[in-house]
Structure 1
Amino acid sequence: MPTARKSGFLTTSLATAAVLAGTLALAPPAGAAGGSCAGAGPTTPWGQPTVYCDTYVTASVTQGNTPFEGDSREVGILYAGHNWFTCQLKGRDNPVIQGARNNWWLTTLADVVTRPGASGWGSFPATAVVQGNDWEPVPGVPLC
């Protein structure tokens, strides 16, 4: 059974994301969505800063971003809305979402863990991020 993971240091962020996911319909990218991720998000438990980006669809958070098959297992889901990310790096191709194509992955904590025993930390596809452009890193998100 899925369990919520963004509690404790992220209570406010989760509440905001839930409200936004239920009330905000973000437009998918039209080639280049434009804009940049901005705004300081919560600091992770190990002291890493985060940045906010808008996501236009609910999508899987996966175990890793490398080309290896085992790393593509879902660990959780991240709801559409105003979400935070720690960093990004290039990896395997993202799933194609509403025509968007990319191979950059953003590190975050899933809203809901779907794999028993997983922490919820993993990679989220740039194709689900409003500020993303095809085959480019997401503006405003630091490299890992």
Structure 2
Amino acid sequence: MKKLRALTAGIAVVGSLLVSAPAAQAAAGCWQSGAHAGYSTTYTCQIWRGNHLWAMYGPGKLTPIGNVEGVLNAGNSWFVCQMRFGIKLEYGPVKNDWFAYTLGDNGYWGWVSATHFSAGGNWEPVPGLGYCPSGFGSTATYPGERPVPHTWQLPGPDRESKVSVN
């Protein structure tokens, strides 16, 4: 009977480790999570704080616009890809110029700064999140995107402590 209890306890410990694996994975970076909103490959990543999405069109013609209507809450969210823009954001010690494209929790498409991701380092891409293909984001309308809301602001929606545009 003691052996059966020990075996049951051991299985319970292993089971709890398996159940908590996604949380550990989220802390380490993103993981591929299947199709969403017409994109065949997306990635799930952990966001450490709620934020508003940015609208930016094309690396050649940079138009940073803060979207006060598009919202992404803290927690796990899916993303299409990431790319570097000529916008450098600083939230205290967290600094980055990489952004990831997603559909906000309230139905607006936009870019989330890598400063909001739980994984990664300063001025580095988000670990495990795929890169956007060449030409991605070169138009003002992406697949499934709603029209630009009339309440967009410059330079950014989240009152970043420091924003610079190169």
Q: Please give the TM-score of this superposition, normalised by the length of structure 1.
A: 0.63
Letter in 1 for 2:54: T
The answer to whether structure 1 residue 129 and structure 2 residue 117 are counterparts is yes
Say if 1:130 and 1:103 are closer, same or farther in 2 by CA, change over 3 A: same
Equivalent position of 2:96 in the other structure: 102
Gaps of at least 5 residues in structure 1 are 1-33, 114-119
The structure with more strand, counted as a fraction of residues:
2
Say if 1:39 and 1:142 are closer, same or farther in 2 by CA, change over 3 A: closer
Say if 1:121 and 1:54 are closer, same or farther in 2 by CA, change over 3 A: same
The answer to whether structure 1 residue 55 and structure 2 residue 14 are counterparts is no
Equivalent position of 1:116 in the other structure: none
Whether the aligned pair in 1 keeps the contact of 2:32 and 2:41 (CA below 8 Å) is no
Distance in 2 (alpha carbons) for counterparts of 1:133 and 1:54 = 14
Deviation at 1:39, TM superposition (A): 4.2
Say if 1:51 and 1:93 are closer, same or farther in 2 by CA, change over 3 A: same
Gaps of at least 5 residues in structure 2 are 1-26, 133-166
Whether the aligned pair in 2 keeps the contact of 1:94 and 1:126 (CA below 8 Å) is no
Quick check: which has more Rg, 1 or 2? 2
Deviation at 1:63, TM superposition (A): 1.1
Whether the aligned pair in 2 keeps the contact of 1:94 and 1:127 (CA below 8 Å) is no
What does residue range 1-144 of structure 1 map to in structure 2 within 5 Å?
35-41=28-34, 43-64=35-56, 68=62, 70-74=63-67, 75-112=69-106, 120-144=108-132
Counting aligned pairs with the same residue, the percent is 28
Deviation at 1:141, TM superposition (A): 0.6
Letter in 2 for 1:53: C
Distance in 1 (alpha carbons) for counterparts of 2:52 and 2:94 = 16
Letter in 2 for 1:50: T
Q: Please give the TM-score of this superposition, normalised by the length of structure 2.
A: 0.55
Distance in 2 (alpha carbons) for counterparts of 1:80 and 1:105 = 16
Higher RCO (C-alpha 8 Å, min separation 6): 1
Q: Secondary structure at the match of 2:93?
A: coil
